[in-house]
């Protein structure tokens, strides 16, 4: 585990596309996490979308802060046409400006959290490409030495299951590209997943984004808040080291908040959190598990909740779910609140992805066939060998984590 430090791990949130921008703007307005502070950047290829995002954030800017610091319009086209290749090409076109903006907004950040919705074109296209460029060694005028050691995590949001085949196609390709670079090597250091249909009761209009985003923000806050707050914590390096070694670096959060710490046992809290996993999954197929418990400072000081309590309860919970062989760590972090409300985050990793991907696979195949039959994508091109490599990379990764 990481040692106590005087400062928080410096995270920066980078959101690309309209959906990612909604997440970032909500986080900016509703959360107070010293691990992030105001290091939040929203990117888009569409001027109107980025203005809408900034308008939601402006009222929360600090003194002297400006919209220009938190926003970047990139690429020469207005929008990506809901096709990820166009978003990727826009990022390729303006990579030097993107890297420079990262440096201006989040200099010397130790970890980036990239947010995007996987059904779209801008974020889904640009985020995997930008991460790949950082991971493979930037060759731009804006490159700075601190960027070489920065950890890149990604939060990808799956489209509603009923959305159009093109969006399901984008999601499958986006997941593959976040997980693996074109050469088959690992891309993002950690890929977090949430599914709109799994988090929202609104299966008719598909517009209840606030409900979904609020849950995502809660999970991010718990995950980042675990870094460097107490003697024994889980920090970002802990999240990525072992999962990368065993090829199981996709995760989903499972959260339960506001439980009475005097009424409920910790094992029960873990069970309640597991019931709220952000994607359809079998918890028993997880290969890596982390547990973050956040309790009021007075409960920790009085010994009502201790680190050994959390570790012992988590070990018992793992045994009951057949996860004895799963790698895992625990953290107890404080919150400065009265009362007895305890929050739990489980990060479940390396689980069988079939229950999620199956929701989109038929549509992926349908859209792939239409592309191979000559479907027009305007100026965008997706050569058949590139598409085959994207599909093979995802299939191979899923075989490693079959459960």
- The answer to whether residue 1 sits within a structural domain is no
Q: Could you tell me if 254 and 67 are in contact, meaning their C-beta atoms sit under 8 angstroms apart?
A: no
Please provide the average confidence, as pLDDT, over all residues in the chain: 87
CATH code for the domain of 325: 3.30.1330.20
- The answer to whether residue 395 sits within a structural domain is no
Domain that holds residue 308: 253-349
Q: Could you tell me if 70 and 24 are in contact, meaning their C-beta atoms sit under 8 angstroms apart?
A: no
Claim to verify: residue 137 and residue 269 sit in the same structural domain:
no
| Cα 361 from Cα 382, distance rounded (Å) | 18
- Which residues lie below 8 Å from residue 309, measured CB to CB, with a gap of 6+? 266
Q: 3-state DSSP: the chain helix, strand, coil percent, rounded to 5? A: 45, 20, 35
| Strand, coil or helix: 385 | helix
Residue 189 has pLDDT above 90, yes or no: yes
Q: What is residue 5's predicted lDDT score, i.e. its pLDDT?
A: 44
| Cα 289 from Cα 344, distance rounded (Å) | 13
Q: Could you tell me if 227 and 8 are in contact, meaning their C-beta atoms sit under 8 angstroms apart?
A: yes
| Cα 18 from Cα 24, distance rounded (Å) | 10
* pLDDT (mean) for 185-191: 98
- The answer to whether residue 400 sits within a structural domain is no
Tell me the torsion sign for CA atoms 357, 362, 367, 373. Answer: positive
The pTM of the whole model exceeds 0.85: yes
| Cα 173 from Cα 391, distance rounded (Å) | 7
- The answer to whether residue 379 sits within a structural domain is no
Which of 181, 209, 225 is the last residue before a domain boundary?
A: 225
- The answer to whether residue 364 sits within a structural domain is no
| Cα 217 from Cα 126, distance rounded (Å) | 22
The pair phi, psi for residue 230, each rounded to 5°, is -135, 180
CB neighbours (10 Å) of residue 297? 13
Point out which residues pair with 191 in neighbouring strands: 154, 250
Q: What is residue 203's predicted lDDT score, i.e. its pLDDT?
A: 53
* pLDDT (mean) for 280-302: 95
Claim to verify: residue 262 and residue 220 sit in the same structural domain:
no
Q: Find the range with the poorest average confidence among 174-178, 230-234, 312-316.
A: 230-234
Rounded to 5°, the CA angle 155-157-160 comes to: 175
Confidence of residue 379 (pLDDT cuts 50, 70, 90): low
pLDDT digits (tens, 9 = 90+) for 66-109: 777 888 999 888 766 788 999 999 999 999 999 999 888 877 88
Which of 325, 349, 373 is the last residue before a domain boundary?
A: 349
CATH code for the domain of 26: 3.40.50.1440
Q: What is residue 4's predicted lDDT score, i.e. its pLDDT?
A: 40
Claim to verify: residue 212 and residue 302 sit in the same structural domain:
no
What is the DSSP secondary structure assignment for residue 285, as one 8-state letter? G
Rounded to 5°, the CA angle 232-234-238 comes to: 125
* pLDDT (mean) for 354-381: 84
Claim to verify: residue 259 and residue 203 sit in the same structural domain:
no
Copy the structure tokens of residue 291. Answer: 């547990």
Claim to verify: residue 76 and residue 215 sit in the same structural domain:
yes
As a residue count, the chain comes to: 403
The pair phi, psi for residue 139, each rounded to 5°, is -120, 65
- The answer to whether residue 391 sits within a structural domain is no
| Cα 87 from Cα 318, distance rounded (Å) | 41
Claim to verify: residue 280 and residue 344 sit in the same structural domain:
yes
CB neighbours (10 Å) of residue 59? 8
- The answer to whether residue 369 sits within a structural domain is no
pLDDT digits (tens, 9 = 90+) for 127-139: 999 999 999 888 7
Give me the number of domains the chain comprises: 2
Claim to verify: residue 201 and residue 257 sit in the same structural domain:
no
Claim to verify: residue 221 and residue 259 sit in the same structural domain:
no
Claim to verify: residue 201 and residue 273 sit in the same structural domain:
no
Claim to verify: residue 278 and residue 143 sit in the same structural domain:
no
| Cα 376 from Cα 130, distance rounded (Å) | 26
Q: What is residue 236's predicted lDDT score, i.e. its pLDDT?
A: 87
Which of 225, 242, 267 is the last residue before a domain boundary?
A: 225
Residue 373 has pLDDT above 80, yes or no: no
Tell me the torsion sign for CA atoms 167, 171, 172, 173. Answer: positive
Claim to verify: residue 32 and residue 120 sit in the same structural domain:
yes
* pLDDT (mean) for 198-227: 75
What is the DSSP secondary structure assignment for residue 118, as one 8-state letter? T
- The answer to whether residue 394 sits within a structural domain is no
Residue 31 has pLDDT above 90, yes or no: no
H/E segment holding residue 102: helix 95-106
Residue 403 has pLDDT above 80, yes or no: no
Claim to verify: residue 207 and residue 314 sit in the same structural domain:
no
- Which residues lie below 8 Å from residue 273, measured CB to CB, with a gap of 6+? 254, 255, 256, 344, 345, 346
Residue 311 has pLDDT above 50, yes or no: yes
């Amino acid at each position: 585990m990481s040692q106590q430090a005087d400062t928080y791990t410096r995270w920066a949130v980078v959101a690309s596309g309209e959906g990612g921008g909604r997440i970032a703007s909500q986080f900016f307005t509703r959360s107070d996490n010293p691990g992030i502070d105001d290091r939040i950047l929203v990117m888009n290829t569409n001027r109107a979308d980025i203005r809408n995002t900034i308008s939601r954030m402006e009222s929360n800017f600090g003194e002297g802060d400006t919209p220009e610091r938190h926003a970047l319009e990139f690429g020469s086209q207005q929008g990506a046409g809901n096709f990820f290749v166009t978003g990727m090409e826009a990022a390729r076109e303006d990579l030097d400006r993107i890297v420079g903006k990262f440096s201006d907004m989040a200099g010397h950040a130790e970890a980036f959290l990239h947010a995007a919705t996987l059904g779209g074109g801008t974020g889904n296209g640009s985020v995997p490409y930008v991460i790949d460029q950082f991971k493979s060694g930037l060759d731009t005028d804006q490159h700075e030495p601190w960027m070489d050691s920065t950890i890149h995590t990604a939060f990808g949001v799956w489209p509603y299951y009923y959305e159009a085949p093109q969006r399901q196609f984008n999601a499958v390709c986006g997941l593959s590209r976040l997980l693996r670079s074109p050469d088959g090597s690992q891309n993002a250091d950690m890929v977090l997943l949430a599914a709109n249909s799994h988090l929202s009761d609104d299966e008719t209009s598909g517009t209840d984004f606030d409900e979904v985003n609020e849950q995502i923000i809660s999970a991010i806050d718990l995950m980042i808040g675990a870094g460097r707050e107490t003697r024994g914590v889980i920090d970002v390096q802990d999240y990525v080291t072992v999962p990368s070694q065993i090829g199981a670096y996709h995760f989903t959060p499972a959260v339960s908040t506001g439980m009475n710490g005097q009424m409920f046992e910790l094992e029960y809290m873990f069970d309640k959190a597991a019931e709220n996993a952000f994607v359809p999954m079998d918890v028993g197929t997880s290969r890596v598990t982390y547990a973050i418990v956040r309790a009021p400072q007075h409960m920790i000081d009085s010994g009502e909740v201790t680190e050994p309590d959390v570790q012992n309860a988590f070990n018992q919970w793992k045994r009951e779910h057949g996860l004895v062989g799963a790698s895992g760590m625990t953290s107890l972090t404080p919150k400065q609140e009265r009362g007895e409300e305890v929050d739990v985050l489980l990060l479940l990793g390396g689980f069988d992805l079939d229950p999620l991907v199956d929701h989109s696979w038929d549509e992926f195949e349908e859209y792939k066939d239409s592309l191979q039959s000559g479907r027009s994508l305007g100026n965008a091109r997706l050569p058949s060998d590139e598409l085959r490599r994207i599909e093979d990379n995802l299939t191979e990764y899923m075989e490693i984590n079959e459960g």
